[in-house]
């Protein structure tokens, strides 16, 4: 951020901050939705989602830096995002095909190893100082006067992506492939006996999840303007998981609400300052543990927000009659 | 060259084995990957650090190794006990409530506990690495050798008063005494190889103890019974909660020993000390066959040696960047073992029940 921003009027600074927060909430919602696809609906325990996000971001950043300058910005943006998605999907294929035959917790370790390993290898092999990429601004040059426009543009992109992913998941879960996947999640052996190919079904949902995470990573790379291995550490994975669990395994609206709530809580506690915000990561881990003890299926469980509101209304109506 | 690689590998492998023992025992009994196990190891290392520092291991008064060994013994015992108590507490507060809630809930709780302890350590002890206390030996000036075999210091100064290689004749000794220096000390010439040798020795001493505990005592028999069939074991009158707590205690006790050994060998301790070694030790346990104590040791040593030998081999073959892949090797190993022999090298074959 350049010095010009500091001299902007307060209202614009507030807008800038707000758009930034909402974009980050949107990216986390994308990550949580895609992880929910794997862990919630698919019932596969993956702990490597930060690796796909990393691959997407690095793939997009690398291609953006490698492409010749002078190409139309929108074309570069779309191409690099697709490339980031492709790299993440390839990573998903590489880890998914051998590992999805594994039982739950072995899969967790193998995917965790993938997420951590990919980052460690790339950051060990990176000779640049400091490690990472600076991503050229391809859509337009950013300065203090059009920063808000830039962020609004990204806000639009992220909202569009979230809506797209929500529709994708809704339709997928109701499609025949989605129902097959749900059957495999419930009982792999029984689903196999019904003529469903369990491995194929699991690989498909795993790839979808990794592709969406890769896309989110690519958009993040373009938005933030730089990527470095330290942005993709395990804490990111824990955050995504916390959102998924908070929102409910298998709940779309829960995921988005939880992404928002978590960010708001973090920012809110940050404003309290002092011990509360310094100890944020400790509190954060504590929330995860307590949630697991008291509500292991998330706050809403697999229900959507609309179900919860309907139930609540019915209960209230029943209460007023009695 | 070969001997170097082998010793480096065995030294690191022995540490993996120390951690893997706890993983394998806990997994064997309640089928939980206890991610926080690496943090028990880290807490053990920190307690050992404080104990060694406060016991004054860096300024032992006599030129004999006995007080130093004693200090290390006390520190290791304290560290191991602290790690074990923490493990029992964790089991009671976090794992027991979710034991029946399904494996994903339990695993996620373990991730949460691990993350919690790491960040708690960051808050309490700071995120930075601390140099682990090195033992020091005191000598009277009169007892100095004719040619100094190491840097000799006095307590008041950081820099040495006698440099390594200095000739020390009677005139030099008189000059030192004239300065008021009666005694000087040096850190012992423990090379990394020497320390690694100690770690291996400690592992060799511990293994039979654990083996005896699990195979020859009533407690061990109860543990094996619970891991075979928890419900049947309960019907036989075994107190499951007690046995699980005892398993956590024993596993974390060994990890605490490993924590002090690891940090004393590699020279520093920080809150993230337990994370990567913990992950790799779990992989070692899987490679050796999860649930098997000899398997944990074989898997640990094998993984340690492979982590040094394979990059060295690749470098010999002309791939200069092979070291970058050292950290990823364990995961590749894991996937290969799980695909080829999912029960690990020494694990018992398991049939899936429908």
Say yes or no: ipTM exceeds 0.90. Answer: no
Q: Is residue A263 part of a domain?
A: no
User: Given a cut of 50, is residue A75 above it in pLDDT?
Assistant: yes
What is the spatial distance between Cα B30 and Cα B106, in angstroms, rounded to a whole number? Answer: 10
**Tens digit of pLDDT for each residue in B286-308?**
899 888 888 999 999 999 999 98
**Which residue in the block uniquely carries the two structure tokens 């020279």?**
B267
Q: Is residue A313 part of a domain?
A: no
Indicate yes or no: CB of A105 within 8 angstroms of CB of B107: yes
**Tens digit of pLDDT for each residue in B255-269?**
999 999 889 888 889
Mean pLDDT, rounded, for B141-153: 77
Mean pLDDT, rounded, for A306-321: 82
A320 or A121: whose pLDDT is higher? A121
Mean pLDDT, rounded, for B238-257: 94
Q: Is residue A207 part of a domain?
A: yes
What is the spatial distance between Cα A209 and Cα A286, in angstroms, rounded to a whole number? Answer: 27
Q: Is residue A241 part of a domain?
A: no
Q: Is residue A166 part of a domain?
A: yes
Which pLDDT value is given to residue B88? 97
Q: How far apart are the first and last CA of chain B?
A: 52
DSSP structure class, residue B99: T
Task: Please name the helix (run of DSSP H) or strand (run of DSSP E) that holds residue A97, with its range, or none.
Answer: helix A73-99
**Tens digit of pLDDT for each residue in A158-197?**
999 999 999 999 999 999 999 999 999 888 889 999 999 9
pLDDT band per the 50, 70, 90 thresholds, residue B330? confident
Looking at chain B, the whole-number percentage of residues with pLDDT higher than 70 is 91
**Tens digit of pLDDT for each residue in A18-35?**
899 999 999 999 999 999
Which pLDDT value is given to residue A273? 73
Which pLDDT value is given to residue A322? 56
Mean pLDDT, rounded, for B12-41: 91
Which pLDDT value is given to residue A5? 65
**Chain A residue closest in CA terms to B281:** A109
- Report residue A287 CA to chain centroid gap: 19
Q: Is residue A250 part of a domain?
A: no
Which pLDDT value is given to residue B110? 92
Which residues have CB under 8 Å from B275's CB, separation 6+?
Answer: A234, B38, B39, B42, B114, B118
User: Given a cut of 70, is residue B188 above it in pLDDT?
Assistant: no
Indicate yes or no: CB of B94 within 8 angstroms of CB of A39: no
Which pLDDT value is given to residue B354? 47
Mean pLDDT, rounded, for B139-161: 74
B238 C-beta neighbours (distance < 10 Å), count:
18
Give all domains of chain B, ordered by start, each with its CATH number. Answer: 2-132+190-340 (1.10.3470), 137-186 (no CATH)
Q: Is residue A247 part of a domain?
A: no
What is the spatial distance between Cα B140 and Cα A31, in angstroms, rounded to a whole number? Answer: 66
Nearest to A121 among B33, B102, B327 (CB): B327
Structural domain total, chain A: 1
Mean pLDDT, rounded, for A114-133: 78
Q: Is residue A172 part of a domain?
A: yes
Indicate yes or no: CB of B104 within 8 angstroms of CB of A113: no
Mean pLDDT, rounded, for A138-163: 86
Looking at chain A, the whole-number percentage of residues with pLDDT higher than 90 is 37
**Residue A270 contacts B, CB cutoff 8 Å:** no
What is the spatial distance between Cα A128 and Cα A8, in angstroms, rounded to a whole number? Answer: 34
Q: Whole domain around residue A188: which residue ranges?
A: 3-231
Nearest to A238 among B103, B107, B115 (CB): B115
**Chain B residue closest in CA terms to A283:** B116
Peptide bond into A130 cis (omega under 30): yes
**pLDDT, mean over chain A:** 86
pLDDT band per the 50, 70, 90 thresholds, residue B113? very high
């Amino acid at each position: 951020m350049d010095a010009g921003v500091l001299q902007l009027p307060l209202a614009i600074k507030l807008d800038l901050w707000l758009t930034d927060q909402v974009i980050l909430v949107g990216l986390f919602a994308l990550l949580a939705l895609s992880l929910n696809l794997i862990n919630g609906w698919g019932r596969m325990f993956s702990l490597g989602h930060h690796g796909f996000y990393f691959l997407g971001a690095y793939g997009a950043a690398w291609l953006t830096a490698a492409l010749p300058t002078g190409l139309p910005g929108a074309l570069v943006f779309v191409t690099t995002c697709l490339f980031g998605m492709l790299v993440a999907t390839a990573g998903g294929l590489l880890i998914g095909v051998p590992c999805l035959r594994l039982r739950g917790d072995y899969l967790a370790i193998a995917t965790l190893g993938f997420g951590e390993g990919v980052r460690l290898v790339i950051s060990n092999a990176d000779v640049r100082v400091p490690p990472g990429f600076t991503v050229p601004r391809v859509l337009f040059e950013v300065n203090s006067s059009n920063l808000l426009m830039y962020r609004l543009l990204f806000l639009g992109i992220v909202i569009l992506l979230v809506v797209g992913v929500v529709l994708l998941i809704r339709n997928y879960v109701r499609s025949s492939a989605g129902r097959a996947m749900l059957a495999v999640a419930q009982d792999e052996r029984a689903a196999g006996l019904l003529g469903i190919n369990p491995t194929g079904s699991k690989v498909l949902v795993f790839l979808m999840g990794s592709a969406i995470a890769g896309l989110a990573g690519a958009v993040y790379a373009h938005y933030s303007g730089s990527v470095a291995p330290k942005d993709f550490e395990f804490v990111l994975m824990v955050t995504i998981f916390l959102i998924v669990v908070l929102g409910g395994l298998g709940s779309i609206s829960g995921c988005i609400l939880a992404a928002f709530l978590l960010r708001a809580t973090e920012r809110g506690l940050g404003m309290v300052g002092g011990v509360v915000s310094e100890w944020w990561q400790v509190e954060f881990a504590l929330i995860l543990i307590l949630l697991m003890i008291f509500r292991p299926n998330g706050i809403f469980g697999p229900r959507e927000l609309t179900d919860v509101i309907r139930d609540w209304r019915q209960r209230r109506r029943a209460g007023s009659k009695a | 060259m070969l001997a170097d690689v082998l010793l480096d590998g065995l030294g690191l492998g022995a540490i993996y084995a120390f951690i893997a023992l706890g993983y394998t025992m806990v997994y064997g009994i309640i089928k939980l990957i206890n991610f926080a196990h690496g943090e028990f190891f880290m807490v053990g290392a920190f307690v050992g650090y404080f104990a060694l520092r406060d016991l004054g291991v860096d300024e032992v008064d006599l030129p004999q190794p006995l007080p130093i060994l004693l200090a290390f013994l006390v520190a290791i015992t304290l560290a191991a006990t602290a790690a074990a108590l923490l493990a029992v507490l964790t089991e009671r507060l976090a794992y027991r409530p979710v034991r029946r809630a399904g494996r994903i809930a339990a695993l996620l709780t373990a991730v949460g506990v691990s993350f919690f302890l790491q960040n708690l350590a960051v808050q309490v002890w700071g995120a930075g690495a601390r140099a682990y206390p090195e033992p020091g030996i005191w000598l009277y000036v009169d007892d100095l050798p004719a040619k100094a075999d190491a840097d000799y210091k006095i307590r008041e100064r950081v820099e040495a008063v006698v440099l390594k290689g200095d000739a020390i004749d009677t005139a030099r000794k008189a000059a030192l005494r004239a300065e008021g220096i009666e005694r000087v000390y040096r850190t012992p010439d423990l090379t990394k190889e020497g320390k690694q040798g100690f770690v291996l020795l400690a592992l060799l001493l511990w293994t039979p103890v654990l083996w005896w505990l699990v195979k020859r005592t009533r407690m061990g028999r109860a543990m094996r019974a619970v891991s075979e069939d928890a419900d049947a074991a309960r019907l036989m009158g075994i107190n499951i909660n007690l046995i699980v707590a005892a398993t956590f205690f024993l596993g974390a006790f060994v990890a605490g020993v490993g924590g002090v050994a690891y940090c004393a060998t590699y020279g520093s301790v920080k809150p993230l000390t337990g994370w990567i070694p913990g992950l790799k030790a779990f992989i070692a346990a899987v490679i050796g066959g999860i649930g098997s104590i000899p398997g944990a040791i074989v898997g640990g040593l094998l993984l340690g040696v492979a982590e040094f030998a394979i990059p060295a081999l690749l470098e010999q073959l002309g791939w200069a960047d092979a070291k970058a892949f050292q950290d990823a090797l364990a995961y590749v190993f894991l996937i290969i073992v799980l695909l080829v022999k999912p029960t690990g090298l020494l694990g018992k074959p398991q049939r899936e029940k429908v």
